[in-house]
Amino acid sequence: MKYKLSIIAIIFVLLSSTTFSVANPGGNGDNNRDFTCGGSCHGDPSLSANSDGTLTIEIQRNVYASNAVAVHVTASDMTLSNNRIVGIFLLGSLNGNSDHPNDHGWSIIQDPNGGINNYVETTVSSSNSVTLTWILFAPNQGGNYNLYAQMNHGHISNSNNLAYTGVSDPLIIDVQNAPENLPGFSEFWIAPEYRSPGDSANIIIMTKNTDSIQVKWKLEGEWFENIANVSLIEKDTWSVDIPPTFGDNVIQYSVITSNGNYSIKQPLLTVGTSMVDFEGTLLGARLQSLAYATVIIGFITTLQSHFSKPNIKISQQKSNFSKINDGNERFVKHPDHPGWLWDNIENTWVIDTDNPPNGGVVDG
């Protein structure tokens, strides 16, 4: 019984060691989260400490209602843990709930990692600075709006396993009412996150108030831009021929939307290559681990039951012997085996010379 309890305790500790960690040293993964994340992202002061890094947020052009804008967040000078992971939030408020930019009229077209999340994680280089860019649709109505950035990271000296967090000053954005017939991306369009390796399918772009588009692309890190072939599928829906990618390659592409009155260069977008063989959630992985643990426990219990049966028989047999043998004699008679004696020293059966089996005579 103690053996089984020990095995169960070990498996439980292995399963729970990542679940109950305070600082999540391996990161939480990209997702859509509020500022406090219900406590799990360390908005609670008891779970966090102040970051020594600097966080800034900015845009580089006028912002028009319902049109795309690039928001750049720079984190620098942080003292990081050995894995050098930092998580960055883009927020519409610091209320602790309903902080997502979507709750304040914004809509994410693409996050820095190619998805549509307001929280992303990245590894910081030895320069100790990283700039991440979100592409957003501005709110539908003109006016002043706030955006914030917040970061979480580990620390190389962190015995309490805390998350170190910092918040930017608010970026106050004057969203202007868009001129009539301003061309841009459709509010119903979401940029593709990634393509499978070697996928040569064209990228579909949806626009509004647009008579023509021009698309230029380049591999990330290169300077030379290539002009993509574009064809009109139907009004404001375009098919763009961008070459397939392999491995870790990422293609950056820019779109110019035009009509008779305006020609607008939209923020730079990216499309990467998916190398993911499995897609799932952290909860799903933990439930799967629990299922495996249950199978292991059942297997161990079955093995123990199987190997314990002979021990029970031997224990019972020795108990019968002890009932017959009240002293400490070496040779013990057993009623089920007349003519034979059990040798307690050699652990074997020997002939009872005083009463040989089947009435036989033993030669002296």
Sequence spans of domains, the chain:
21-178, 181-276, 284-359
- Res 21: pLDDT: 37
- Res 63: pLDDT: 94
- Res 132: pLDDT: 95
Answer whether 135's CB lies under 8 Å from 185's CB.
no
What whole-number distance in Å separates Cα of residue 240 and Cα of residue 246? 18
How does residue 110 score in pLDDT terms, banded at 50, 70 and 90?
A: very high
pLDDT of 18 above 50: no
Share of the chain above pLDDT 70, in %: 76
Answer whether 230's CB lies under 8 Å from 240's CB.
yes
Q: What is the mean pLDDT of residues 338-362?
A: 77
C-alpha distances (whole Å) from 255 to each of 127, 185, 209, 240 are 31, 9, 14, 10
Q: What is the mean pLDDT of residues 290-310?
A: 73
85, two tokens: 């992971």
How does residue 293 score in pLDDT terms, banded at 50, 70 and 90?
A: confident
Q: Does domain 21-178 have CATH number 2.40.30.170?
A: no
pLDDT of 317 above 60: no
- Res 45: pLDDT: 55
Answer whether 101's CB lies under 8 Å from 57's CB.
no
How does residue 8 score in pLDDT terms, banded at 50, 70 and 90?
A: low
- Res 328: pLDDT: 59
Q: What is the mean pLDDT of residues 122-126?
A: 91
Taking alpha carbons only, the member of 41, 178, 59, 42 closest to residue 117 is 41
Q: What is the mean pLDDT of residues 240-263?
A: 91
* Whether the domain at 21-178 and the domain at 181-276 fall into the same CATH topology: yes
What whole-number distance in Å separates Cα of residue 183 and Cα of residue 99? 29
pLDDT of 135 above 60: yes
Taking alpha carbons only, the member of 110, 153, 161 closest to residue 129 is 153
Phi, psi of 36 (to 5 degrees): -95, -20
- Res 154: pLDDT: 85
How does residue 297 score in pLDDT terms, banded at 50, 70 and 90?
A: confident
How does residue 308 score in pLDDT terms, banded at 50, 70 and 90?
A: low
pTM for the model stands at 0.66
- Res 311: pLDDT: 47
Q: What is the mean pLDDT of residues 313-317?
A: 46
pLDDT of 319 above 70: no
pLDDT of 149 above 70: yes
Query: Exposure of 206 by Cβ count < 10 A (0-12 exposed, 13-18 middle, 19+ buried)?
Result: middle
Matching CATH number, 181-276, of 3.30.200.20, 2.60.40.3780, 2.40.30.10, 3.40.640.10: 2.60.40.3780
- In the sheet that 229-234 helps form, which strands lie side by side, from edge to edge? 184-185, 203-208, 237-241, 229-234
The predicted-structure confidence for 38-89, as pLDDT tens digits, reads as follows 444 544 555 678 899 999 999 977 899 999 999 999 999 998 888 899 999 9
The predicted-structure confidence for 157-177, as pLDDT tens digits, reads as follows 776 677 889 999 999 999 999
The predicted-structure confidence for 187-227, as pLDDT tens digits, reads as follows 999 898 888 888 888 999 999 999 999 999 999 888 899 99
pLDDT of 280 above 80: no
145, two tokens: 């709006």
- Res 3: pLDDT: 54
Calculate the average pLDDT of the chain. Answer: 81
DSSP 8-state secondary structure symbol assigned to residue 78:
-
Count of Cβ atoms closer than 10 Å to residue 266 Cβ: 23
pLDDT of 7 above 80: no
